[in-house]
Amino acid sequence: MSRRHEQLGLLLGFIGMVCFAGTLPATRVAIPYLDAWFLTVARAAFAGAAAVAMLWWTGRRWPARRHWAEIALASACLVYGFPLFTALAVATVPVAHGGVVLGILPTVTACAATLVAGERPSLGFWLAGAAGGAIVVAFALRHGSGGLAIGDIWLAAAILSAGFGYTYAGKLSSAMPGWEVIAWALVISLPVAVPLTVWLWPDRAAAVPLAAWGGLAYVSLVSQLIGFFFWNAGLALGGIARVGQLQLLQPFAIVLMAAGVNGEPVEAETLAFALAVVVAVMVGRRMRVAR
């Protein structure tokens, strides 16, 4: 892998991470008015319709038969698992709390990459990742609720779903463009998503605030579709374990967005933890990852 490809992969991964960072704040805006199950299937249905249009417009061919099993696994993890678990989580915990708990996602992604994609991070890489994860956990314990709540259980399930989903998507992105991976994952979700969206449609939809519909629009088009264009391409170019480390920055991006969107406070101490995590990410970048 050339240094230029790695740097481009990191840049694309960073853009995707910023897109994903808006997911929890947008979900928190919508969840008081839209049921978590409806929010999950509706975002899949709307994003899937956009994906069908894009695939048709660009004249893309169906993926090879050998890829469909991994596409289905990526769909289960990223189209249904992660959105549902995060929606259930933010119904009971603050957005900032959810953001910092998600900080251990890079470590889970790296573990999934060793199991699924055959990547072999060096000991130095693991130590840097562990240090970054420890910083994030310390932040969560200091600013969290002081113990495990049901929302933390949902967040743990979301982390597992995302870690393996990112790995399958990143692996597939080596065989096809990254945007196609999530597009096909959305397409195969439509037979389930569309009927459930109709069935779960709110009885008093007209009474749902415009901001809640806006939150649904964001998680449908940006979180579920556009963000993956950048993220999957970054994983393919820069490596799943290495680019996955950028997720260490996501908790602090979420905290900043939560301040603007959800009115949650940002403390100076948060910025200190963010700086420490950035240092861990930069150290991890310099460590060898065999592919």
pLDDT of residue 3: 73
- DSSP-assigned states of every residue in 160-184: HHHHHHHHHHHHHTTTS-HHHHHHH
pLDDT in single tens digits along all 291 residues of the chain? 567 778 888 899 899 999 999 999 999 999 999 999 999 999 999 999 999 999 999 999 899 889 999 999 999 999 999 999 999 999 888 888 788 778 778 777 777 877 776 767 777 877 887 887 788 777 767 765 555 667 888 988 999 999 899 888 878 877 888 788 889 999 999 999 999 999 999 988 889 999 999 999 999 999 998 888 888 788 778 877 778 778 778 878 888 898 888 888 777 777 777 778 777 776 776 666 555
- Cα–Cα distances (Å) from 257 to 28, 63, 167, 264, 281, in that order, read 12, 37, 26, 9, 21
* Token reading at 134: 């420890």
Q: What pLDDT, in 10s, does the model give residues 209-236?
A: 999 999 999 999 999 988 888 887 887 7
Q: Any idea which residue has 């889970």 for tokens?
A: 108
- In whole angstroms, what is the distance from residue 235 CA to residue 166 CA? 8
**Domain that residue 42 falls in:** 3-290
Q: Any idea which residue has 């929010």 for tokens?
A: 39
Residue count of the chain, please give it.
Answer: 291
Helix (H, G, I), strand (E, B) or coil at 1: coil
Please name which of 188, 196, 170, 53 lies closest in space to residue 115, comparing C-alpha atoms.
170
pLDDT of residue 140: 66
Q: What is the 3-state secondary structure (H, E, C) of 77-133?
A: HHHHHHHHHHHHHHCCCCHHHHHHHHHHHHHHHHHHHHHHCCCEECHHHHHHHHHHH
pLDDT of residue 218: 96
* pTM, two decimal places: 0.83
- How many structural domains does the chain have? 1
Tell me, what amino acid is at 204?
R
pLDDT of residue 229: 82
Residues 132, 105 contacting (CB under 8 angstroms): no
pLDDT of residue 119: 67
pLDDT of residue 46: 95
Q: What pLDDT, in 10s, does the model give residues 187-197?
A: 999 999 999 99
pLDDT of residue 29: 94
Strands (E), the chain: 120-121, 289-290
pLDDT of residue 79: 95
Residues near 165 by beta carbon (within 8 Å), at least 6 away in sequence: 73, 74, 76, 77, 78, 81, 82
If you ran DSSP here, which 8-state letter would residue 288 be given?
Answer: -
